[in-house]
Amino acid sequence: MFLRKRANRVLLLRSYRDGEGKVRQARLGHFLSVQEARDSLRSQDWRDDFSRRNVGLKIDWDGLADQAEQLPDADVKPVPQRPLGLRVEEALSTFLRLWPQLEDARRKREIADLLREQLRRMEAPESELETLQWQAEAALEPRRTQRQDGSADFYLKTLGERASQLQEQGRMDEACGLLERRVTANPSEQNLAEYGAVLQMLGRTEEAIAQYRRIPRANPIRHYNLASLYCTKGRMDEALTAVMDGLLRDSRIARATTALREGRPPDHGQEYWEKFGHLWDPIGRWFLMGTYAQPLVKLRLSNAAGSRVLPRMLVKGKPRALLLQRVLYWDPPQPKTQVVARRKRSKTASQEGS
């Protein structure tokens, strides 16, 4: 551990390795002035409190105190104290982040009773309690999202859970704002896909396309979600490209549409359709089934499966133009259940006639 001066503040830092051989720094706290750092690091009470909050750290207190003595005194005006409301919000955020780690059930009940009593005194309506809680949970400082030690996980999880609640309530604009914050903090493939899906549902087409294209090409969700959007907008040429790119990465998602159409659970691809199936309108599903049903597509997929390197395009040139025409005029076969029922009716009718 070591100290570093930033303007009037003194940061308390710790170096660690991130698992990839790189040395990174984690901020464990800060002091508003050099004098505060000197006083705190010499105080046994402050040391004991810090050790309780950071169990397992080996700390050279005397060495840190000596570092504080060697820091130059501030020659500018002290930083003004932050507003009380902001400090309370940050303290409440920290409390809610640590709440799941509290294992003492009796202590939890005591704290819960205390909070209920305070809320009753405020005469806060019950409907506002959920909003109060989630705002406090999500109000962690933005810099936490850049940490590699897992401290941002709770923040990101809270944003995702609250966005899901808002979507269920039909409050799509608010959900979109939360997912934007989450993807800014952590642009993972899943976060990008979920943010793009909400943008698509809001009709913000170009923004949704931009988010989908940030997903690596190896991920089939990128291509299937783009295909659903293009089909909705009638951009069938682009939809065909996206569908074929998706088929190259994972054709099981397309195969699942047949099972879904017949009302039975698919063997594979169920997870995709549970999460993003609402993006596909009937025309899009028909177009996807029609593309996968083409003999040329199945032949090329079979050839690609036997090759070590995926082709850049499944079908190109003149065959591609013909393929698009065949898909657009494709007539889907009736589900097997309907065919069997029709045959039974026909057989019964012929027996009655004889």
pLDDT in tens, 213-256: 999 999 999 999 999 999 999 999 999 999 999 999 999 998 88
Whether residue 93 is contained in a domain is answered as no
Whether residue 143 is contained in a domain is answered as no
Structure tokens that stand for 153 in this block = 């996980």
Whether residue 274 is contained in a domain is answered as yes
State residue 151's pLDDT score: 53
Cβ atoms 135, 177 nearer than 8 A: no
State residue 144's pLDDT score: 46
Whether residue 16 is contained in a domain is answered as yes
Residues of the domain holding 232: 218-354
Look at residue 26 and give its three-state secondary structure: strand
- Listed in sequence order, the residues at least 6 apart from 313 whose beta carbon sits closer than 8 Å to its beta carbon are 241, 244, 320
The model's pTM is: 0.57
Q: How many beta carbons lie within 10 A of that of residue 8, not counting itself?
A: 16
Radius of gyration over alpha carbons of the chain, in Å? 30
Q: How many beta carbons lie within 10 A of that of residue 323, not counting itself?
A: 21
CA atoms lying within 13 Å on the CB side of residue 22: 6
Residue 84 has pLDDT above 60, yes or no: yes
Cβ atoms 324, 240 nearer than 8 A: yes
The per-residue pLDDT for range 287-333, each reduced to its tens digit, is 999 999 999 999 999 988 888 777 888 888 889 999 999 999 888 77
Cβ atoms 329, 342 nearer than 8 A: no
Whether residue 319 is contained in a domain is answered as yes
Of the three residues 33, 62, 81, the one that is the final residue of a domain is 81
Of the three residues 81, 109, 126, the one that is the final residue of a domain is 81
Of the three residues 57, 81, 105, the one that is the final residue of a domain is 81
Residue 197 has pLDDT above 90, yes or no: yes
Task: Supply the mean pLDDT for the chain.
Answer: 80
Whether residue 23 is contained in a domain is answered as yes
Whether residue 159 is contained in a domain is answered as no
State residue 352's pLDDT score: 55
pLDDT band, residue 68 (cuts 50/70/90): confident
What is the C-alpha to C-alpha distance for residues 198 and 319, in angstroms, rounded to an integer? Answer: 35
List b or e across 249-277, with b for residues whose CB sees 16 or more CB atoms inside 10 angstroms. bbbebbbbbbbbeeeeebeebbebbeebe
pLDDT band, residue 107 (cuts 50/70/90): confident
Split into its structural domains, the chain has a count of: 2
State residue 91's pLDDT score: 82
Whether residue 107 is contained in a domain is answered as no
